[in-house]
Structure formats: C-alpha cells, structure tokens
Structure 1
C-alpha cells in the first residue's frame, strides 16, 4: 500500500512538472561580452508596437537565459537598454522558433558581431539578408550618382541612372520572390513576402502563398499573408 501511494505521488509530481514545462517551448541562452550592467528586453511586434515578452536584469554577468511560450516561429527583438540611448543599434532581430536558441555578441558590436544558432528560419534570414544587402548598396550608389547628375544638369545621365534603379528594384523583388518560393517549407517565406515585397504585383504574392506547405500556411506569418492577399483582392 505504501509503495502504491509513493508511486501515485511520484506520477502526480511528474505530471505537474510536465504541465509546467509545457508552458514554454523556447529556451534562449546568450552572452554579451563586455556587458556588466543593463536591461535586456525580449520583444515581439503586436499591432505595430513592440511588446516585451521577458525582461532580464543584467548585473555583473554577461550571460543570460529566458524561457518563452512561442505559438509559432516569429521574428523577435532582443533590445538592450544601456541606460544611455534608445538607438536602433540596441535592437537585435532574431527569427525565433520552438527549441533552443543561443545568441552570442558583444557590447561594442552588438549587431555586427551577433551570432545566432539553433533556428533554421534565422539561418535562412541571414542568407537572404546577405544577398539583399547587395541590392541596398547598389541602390545607395545609384542615388548618389543620380544626385550628382541632377546637379550637373546631365539629363542623359539622370535617365540612365533611373533605368538602372528600376532594374535594381525589379531584381531585388524577383530575388525575394524566388527565395520565398524556394523556402516554402519555412516560415521565413511568408515573412519575406509581408516585410520585403508586400507591394509587389498580387500574382507574385499569390504564387508564394500557394507554394507554402500546410504547416507554414497555418503559422503566424502564413495566416497573415493569406489574410493580406484576401484584403487586396477585395479592394480590386
């Protein structure tokens, strides 16, 4: 009888522990070299506003950890409050997904030195961003060239640069579309459609939506993309 009671209590405790553990499905660990004091906020976007999911006080140690309940893979923000400025350089984006994610960076190179592991969606995001940066750099170069041509009243040069700008935009949008379609089994696909090419021709958004896997279609960004496309079609 005594053994039965012990066994029952043990099972009850185990069930209770499993129930508590099920409340969170994302474990975040990290290290910000050089940081001794400050506050970290793990945030998500809710109706265009950043809302804190967790607040971590840093006092004497550069390491941190957090447990979060993530309903669906989502772009989150690790905001560092240095107590000095609210610069955008203090907000680190990472594409979170259930599991374990590690964030390694430094106080001096908070964004530039960040290494995030444990998320396939984030790996894909970094791959996309690396190539997309080329289009952004070219855009800046062309803006400068156009400005100089306008100052010099060189109409032919202005027209030439304008044509290059249009071509650069088309290539950027085509790359984003193909990237989303090629990675249709990951939530990065609808995220790119919504954040990077939301104003592209509806047929391309439609193609991305139809290429999404059933799981991605039911995700946070998958549902948002479907709703967004439906809204556009209503207005046409």
Structure 2
C-alpha cells in the first residue's frame, strides 16, 4: 500500500471521527479572544472537587475558536487560557453552559472581566444574580478591613458592632439568594446557587428551593445533587 493511500485513509478516519464527535454533541461553543494570536484553551468542569479538562483548543494565528461537547444537563464550565510563557491572574472565566449555541467574546488583556457570554438563559440569570451578589461581597470586604484595623488596637465594643453588621449582611445575602433560587426554580441555576452559595443555610430554606424545582430541573445534575444534600442534612439533624 502506497504512502499516499495510507495518508488518505488516515485523513478519512480523522474526518469521520470529528464528524461523529460533533454529531454526538449538544453544545456548540464559539468564541473570539481579541488580541490573542497564540496559546491554548482548556474547557473544564469540576468533578470530585477537581478541574477536569473536557476539551482543549490550540490558538495559532486566529483568535476565534469553537468547541463541540455533550452535556447531560446545564452545568457551570470553566475556560482556562494557557498563554504559554506569560502568566496572568486573569486566565480563567466561568460560564453556565447549556445545550444549544453559546458564544463567548472577550479580550486577551482582560480575559475574565471583558467576557460577554450569550446563548445561555442560565448564564443570563447568573449574571443578574452576580451583579447583586458583588455588592454583598464588597460590603463584606469593608467589614473585614474594619475587623483587621480593630485587631491592631482591640476594642470589644467595635468588635461586637462589626460582628453584628456581618451577621445582618449574611442574612441579607442568604435571603436574597434563596429568593432568587425559588423565583427561578424552573432553571438549573436554582439548585446550583443553593449548593454553591448558601449550602449552610437553615434546612427549611433548602427544602423550599428543592420543592420549588420543576421535574426537569430536579432531574438535572445540580437538581440531583441538591436532593441528595437535603436528604443527608435532614438525616443528620434527626440524629442530633
């Protein structure tokens, strides 16, 4: 068999494999990283508390990229940028992926902060939630600063005041998150927020979110995780 024929067969096999991969996929991700001419992208998910790569993309001359993956249900994914020799603290962005077409527009200079993701209703809700959640985080940082200053010259009255302010802030954040989750219980972001943002909230709140989920959401990855988590929480509380 000649070398040309062998190469032709390999090319056909590779093409078929790629076509099969795309036909099996239910999520089509396209994107553009302005300013990037060379590097590597890693599309990752969290599995057993560890980042696991589900796709890798080489960037060489063209800042545009695409990926075809399959998801059983909507899931928070992470796009990590390997710049090569240069490093940056801004090399990772996360987005709530779901079946369909998702587009990511961002820049090399501000990979995370400039990112605009379209095509995912769950991600749209995440952006809406995060805009308010950032305010809670900013208030918390101010309290942390006050706490650190008070440690230099300890004052019990000031310490008590800071702790009271922190507890009030925490209640506000938890109630807002629980309300947001219940209000959007027809989307997978509801159980995700319950698990990632308020997992240690009082069980009745988690129970309300769980019971508010639609049957489809309850069968999703995060829906199943929330159901199992609430079940275990209740079992532990009964034993006490």
Deviations 1:164-205 (A, max 9, x none): 011001111111100100000000000000101111111111
CA contact (8 A) 2:31 2:65 kept: yes
Shift of 1:35: 0.4
CA contact (8 A) 2:21 2:68 kept: no
Shift of 1:84: 3.7
CA contact (8 A) 2:103 2:119 kept: yes
1:123 match: 124
Name the TM-score, length of structure 2 as normaliser.
0.87
Deviations 1:56-78 (A, max 9, x none): 00000100011111110000011
Equivalence map 1:101-180=2 (5 Å) = 101-180=102-181
* Structure 1 runs (4+) greater than 4 angstroms displaced: 18-22, 85-88
Asked if residue 46 in structure 1 is aligned to residue 9 in structure 2, the reply is no
Shift of 1:214: 0.8
Pairs aligned (count)? 219
C-alpha separation in 2, matches of 1:93 and 1:20: 23
1:90 match: 91
Tell me the C-alpha RMSD between the 2 structures. 1.6
Asked if residue 194 in structure 1 is aligned to residue 195 in structure 2, the reply is yes
2:226 match: 225
2:65 match: 64
C-alpha separation in 1, matches of 2:52 and 2:193: 21
C-alpha separation in 1, matches of 2:190 and 2:166: 25
Gaps of 5+ in 2: 1-18
Gaps of 5+ in 1: 1-17
CA contact (8 A) 2:191 2:223 kept: yes
